[in-house]
Structure 1
Amino acid sequence: MNIARSYVNDTSPLPSPWRDAQVAVVVPTYNEAGNIAELTRSIHALDLPNLMLIIVDDDSPDGTGSIADDLAGRANEDRPGSMVVLHRKVKEGIGRAHIAGMKEALARGADYVVQMDGDLSHRPEYIPRMLGTIMSAHAGVVIGSRYVAGGSLSADWGRHRRLLSKFAGLYVNAILKLPLRDATGGFKMWRRDVLERIDLNAIRSDGYSFQVEMNHLCRQLGQSIVEIPIHFEERNAGSSKISFAVQLESMLTPFALRFGGRRRPAGQAEAVRSLR
């Protein structure tokens, strides 16, 4: 598998027909009432006429789901089908929320699927560059990376968090042999056919280890992974949802993927043959 890194900082608008691609942005939310309106405005302001926003809310007690419904109603008056809100009654983890949103995106015809956080730590203005990169490189996935040249972290991140994040990436790469600078990053764009081959129904992870499992399965398919630099912001409002259980799953998942029996993603044999 070829894993490439891109350091392009071009912010020029994408030309047609690239900008006309069917793109869905999946954003899981839980208690993001202070962020959802600004995030929605920023995404809909992108120069991508066929972009769809899919909010997956896990019954947020702070009313995020209701706010998202109101925003969707207004957005769909201007451009029907531009925003969808999925309401889940059980909080099963961010990985499950991403899967629900990805399935909805594929069912609605998206050719490219973005996954990003709902706390404004990921800047929507990187999405056109991710689209240009994935189309030009024909990559399986593009990762918005904090750790390639040109990438950066918020100054509000303390030394402990920086070291923990770096260690997590080194830990994952050492076990799964993933030559990535940001193996745990959650700002990504996927090609439709890659998601279909991975088989989302068979994903094991519930929490943030979902990011690692998806990278691992993409690699098993022989698809290229491209990292582009981003600036990662501190969350705008609310608090982190990373519990001890989520941290424990993140520690155990790489071992389970490496030593717990290999699952061949759907279409792997075809992908391997095409590389010969």
Structure 2
Amino acid sequence: MPTPTVLPEPWADSAVSVVVPTYNEATNLPTLVEEVLSLELTRLRLLIVDDGSPDGTGDVAEKLAAEYAGRVTVLHRTAKDGLGRAYVAGLTRALDEGAEFVAQMDADLSHPPAYLPQLLGTLLSTGAGVAIGSRYVPGGSLSHQWGLHRRLLSGWANTYVKSVLGMPIRDVTAGYKMWRREALQALDLPSVDSNGYSFQVETHFRAYRRGQKMVEIPIHFRDRGQGTSKMDLGVQLESALRPLRMRTQERRARERYGKPPNRSR
């Protein structure tokens, strides 16, 4: 378990919203909420986006919202239509509620909340638009519980996406990150069309194409707590095809408007 960075008072008082999509995470959610809200960030808020989980995650979330009144809110969605759509709904709500910084993280305890102050401090100290918790920069690591097959699949996915889209970041599929408000608004969230885990790649690509500064910090990626992974065959297929579609769309846009690709960071 990493030791949380202690930020100076002006930084620690930043308005931060942490958006956490959930589906069947009732057993993990209380631990996650406790770890997040124990951090020394005075204006940190947690927004849980539940897609109608049949295991009662929504009810657990409402109890936590009552217990931590004013710090935890719940957005209930009636349909399970993918991680990407849940994130669009949650990130949009966080912006509407006035967050200065918005973090994304999984509900399964694989993303240690202790890194949140470091992500915030990285944005404030570097002027970056997004700070990414990376498994693949020096100092980053994966749970020892990950088997060889899973490690190879993750490594291949990153190599594949980088070769297709040419982004200069190590962990292009990372789901743990924090955005500046202005950087998130620049993504044009309503037009993001990824449904599943490819949402992470699409938003990284949009940030890169818009010339936003992207900084990676090393994290240790834990194995999930309780429950099972949501990475089914359909999600894997979308994740494989989406980068090709994005590259095609980008090429057509360049041909239409005659603009060279933006390679700034």
Residue 263 of structure 1 deviates from its aligned partner by 6.6
- From 150, 163, 183, the equivalent of 1:174 is 163
Whether the 8 Å CA contact 1:75–1:83 is kept in 2: the answer is: yes
Structure 1 residue 171, shift from structure 2 partner: 0.3
Partner of 2:140: 151
Q: CA deviation at 1:10?
A: 8.1
TM-score for the superposition, normalised by structure 2: 0.93
**Residue 111 (1) aligns with residue 100 (2):** yes
Shift of 1:197: 1.3
Aligned to 2:119: 130
Can you list the C-alpha shifts for 1:78-97, whole angstroms capped at 9, x where unaligned? xx2x1110110000100111
Q: Select the residue among 32, 42, 45 that pairs with 2:35.
A: 42
1:73 aligned onto 2:46? no
Residue aligning to 1:212:
201
What is the one-letter code of the residue matched to 1:245?
G
Cα offset for 1:212? 0.3
Work out whether residues 5 and 115 of structure 2, in 8 Å CA contact, stay in contact via their aligned partners in 1. Answer: no
Q: Which has the higher contact order (CA 8 A, sep 6+)?
A: 1
Q: What is the rounded CA distance, in whole Å, between the counterparts of 1:159 and 1:244 in structure 2?
A: 19
Unaligned runs of 5+ in 2: none
Q: Which amino acid aligns with 1:165?
A: S
Q: Deviations over 1:180-225 (max 9, x none)?
A: 1111010010110011111100001000000000000001110111
1:15 Cα deviation after fit: 0.2
Asked if structure 2 preserves the Cα contact closer than 8 Å seen for 1:10 and 1:129, the reply is no
Aligned to 1:96: 85
**How do 1:154-165 and structure 2 match up within 5 A?**
154-165=143-154
Contact 2:4 2:39 in 1 (8 A): no
Residue type of the partner of 1:139?
A: A
State the TM-score, normalized to the length of structure 1: 0.89
CA RMSD of aligned residues (A): 1.6
**What does residue 15 of structure 2 align with?**
22
Report if the CA contact (8 A) 1:116-1:187 is conserved: yes
After superposition, give the CA deviation of every residue in 1:86-137 in whole Å (9 maximum; x if it has no partner): 1100001001111111011001100110000000000001000000001111
- Measured in 1, the distance between the counterparts of 2:4 and 2:27 equals 28
| Count of residues in correspondence between the two structures | 255
- Quote the Cα distance in structure 1 between the aligned partners of 2:73 and 2:102: 14
Question: After TM superposition, which residue ranges in structure 1, 4 or more long, deviate above 3 angstroms?
Answer: 9-12, 261-264
Does the residue aligned with 1:62 lie in a helix, a strand or coil? coil
2:250 matches 1:257: no
Could you list the runs of 5+ residues in structure 1 that have no partner in the other structure? 1-8
SS of the equivalent of 2:9 reads: coil
Identity, in percent, stands at 53
> What SS does the aligned partner of 1:26 have?
strand
Match of 1:6 in 2: none
Call closer, same or farther: CA 1:149–1:10 in 2, change over 3 Å: farther
